[in-house]
Structure 1
């Protein structure tokens, strides 16, 4: 993804809907060039095109969450990638940053296996045959393109991995790591039961924020992977819980 396309996503994260000619003016390129960018981004599911406009996806849509804060999420995914060995099997839950990590794993082409509750990840990786995707059973949640519910525990009990990668909507000293959707949070808890080390992938602005549903206490996680905007005080506070901060 080039810098111009990243800027389009950043603009849409605040504007929600913007004319093609405005995007062309902002980027100082032709409308033809912007339309080509929009076609690429639409094919990746990151936005919609509508009668001369670029339009953001709905906020609970995984495509919207993937596009929002894309540069930081991509940075986090790149950092997390270095912890995964060739041929390793990992569990990845259905968050947007986790989706970018799954794509980076597949692009690296090192025969990894991904166990996930995300139908979006399974669909996203369909053109990467050397990366095996094991999709857990459960109730389908349409907007998030994930499966949830108690069947996840039944389907994952046959697996155990060293690492699980999860996203977060809030990280707080007392409330811990939390999510904004109850069913997806419960799914992540069940998946965590079959992994030794928890990697939380999150943008730093979510630190010191509470979200609706408790996921893990800070003492339950081993790694926190974030962007370069984390402060030294925030880093130190997490390290007090023996968390590796990257």
Structure 2
């Protein structure tokens, strides 16, 4: 595989998942650790990603104020506008983090009256400009990679909330394997979120469909809404249709 092909594939993984582990890239590309290290350094030198210990992070994921580098921004705006149709006055809503959730917040009605809990400080900052929204940040250990709070303290807080609607992004979703991710501790947080939420909406661009990662979060039966930029009647979504899952 040529260097440019490796770089393009690395950037695709970064854009889709916001972060990538060197160990996963080594397995995916079938190259040495030294090769991946050099590739990540070259991409970092081009200001395309943040190189960190053990992998790399997306640049767009780490700035809520400069969204010029957000991957698939137009598609995420389409998703955001669909998600907003689920939000009603008086609701108690919990959000995850990530660029798609930030687009939801940026497009909320100015006069919305609701309570938002969030595990993302960046989302909380965006929510703060709405005069009728009460914003409550879930505290805990802060993940520098995912930019969210997690751990036992966060889990205890979320377990005590009766959530009307939860809005979460995802790294991967598959019709048979459900939601999957790569971080064990954050997966435990997500499972608590699912147990505390009356309705769950998963927001993701269609490029994340039919992907499976190492750790299981939940099956499709635990999800109420799957929101993509696609028309719900799209053939790409055929395998995701079930009696418990509504496509938006």
Q: Same fold (TM over 0.5)?
A: yes
- Structure 2: gaps spanning 5 or more residues: 1-10, 15-45, 51-55
Which residue pairs with 1:218 in the alignment? 220
Alignment check: 8 A CA contact 1:62 1:144 kept: no
1:134 alignment partner, SS class: strand
- Structure 1: gaps spanning 5 or more residues: 1-12, 17-53
Which residue pairs with 1:172 in the alignment? 174
Alignment check: 8 A CA contact 1:91 1:164 kept: yes
**Distance 1:159-1:62 versus aligned 2 partners, 3 A rule:** farther
- Deviation of 1:55 after TM superposition, in Å, equals 4.3
Alpha-carbon RMSD: 2.7
TM-score relative to the length of structure 2: 0.69
Tell me, yes or no, if structure 1 residue 206 matches structure 2 residue 203: no
Which residue pairs with 2:103 in the alignment? 100
Which residue pairs with 1:137 in the alignment? 139
- The 2-side partners of 1:126 and 1:197 are apart by 24
Which residue pairs with 1:110 in the alignment? 112
Q: CA deviation digits over 1:139-198, x for unaligned, max 9? A: 011243210112122112331022111111111122111224333332222222111111
Aligned 1:7-156 pairs, distance under 5 A: 55-58=47-50, 60-61=57-58, 63-64=60-61, 67-105=70-108, 107-156=109-158
- The 1-side partners of 2:196 and 2:71 are apart by 30
Alignment check: 8 A CA contact 2:121 2:137 kept: yes
Deviates more, 1:233-242 or 1:80-89: 233-242
- Deviation of 1:97 after TM superposition, in Å, equals 1.1
- Would you identify which runs of 4 or more consecutive aligned residues in structure 1 move more than 4 Å? 54-57
2:173 alignment partner, SS class: strand
| 1:237 equivalent among 234, 239, 242 | 239
Deviates more, 1:232-241 or 1:135-144: 232-241
**Distance 1:62-1:55 versus aligned 2 partners, 3 A rule:** closer
- The 1-side partners of 2:178 and 2:151 are apart by 22
Q: CA deviation digits over 1:83-105, x for unaligned, max 9? A: 10023221111232122213323
Q: CA deviation digits over 1:58-89, x for unaligned, max 9? A: 35257337711111111101100011002322
Alignment check: 8 A CA contact 2:75 2:229 kept: yes
The number of equivalent residue pairs is: 196
